[in-house]
Amino acid sequence: MRTPRILLVGMMGAGKTTTGQLVAQRLGWDYEDSDADVEATTGLTVPELFARDGEAAFRRAETQVLATSCARQMSSVVSVAGGAVLSAENRELIRESGTVIWLRARPEKLAARVGDGAGRPLLGDDPG
C-alpha cells in the first residue's frame, strides 16, 4: 500500500507553502517544503545556491529533495518547488507518489504575492 501523500504543485506565489502547512496541520501529517529542504541540504539559501552554482545545481538539489520526500514512509503534504515539474523524471515521480493538487492563481495575484521578487532568483530584475 502506498504511503498517503499530497503533493502541491504550482507557480511561485500560488500558495503552496501556506496551503501545505494548513492541510498538513488539519490532517495531522508531516509537512515538507522542497525549497526549505534544498536550503537545509545545501546549507545555502536558494538565491545563494543560484549565485554560487547556477540554476542546474538548484535543479539537481530540487530533484534530490523531492525524491527523498517521496521515499519517506510517513503521511505528508509536500510543497513541490515550482520548477520541479519542468523535469519529466520529476513529473513521473510526483504522479506516482500521491495525490497531486495543482494550485493556480491569476497572474496579477501571483505578482502581488511575489512582490519585488526578493529571494526568487528566477525573477531576476523583473518580478512583474
71 contacts 43 by C-beta, under 8 angstroms: no
* pLDDT (average), residues 102-120: 75
| Selection from 24, 6, 8 nearest residue 16 by Cα | 8
* Among 95, 71, 72, residue whose Cα is nearest residue 84: 95
pTM of the model: 0.84
Predicted local distance difference test score (pLDDT) of residue 127: 44
116, pLDDT greater than 80: no
93 vs 16: CA distance, rounded Å: 18
Q: What confidence tens digit (pLDDT) does each residue in 9-42 have?
A: 998 889 999 999 999 999 999 999 999 999 999 9
For the stretch 64-95, pLDDT in tens is 999 999 999 999 999 999 889 999 999 999 99
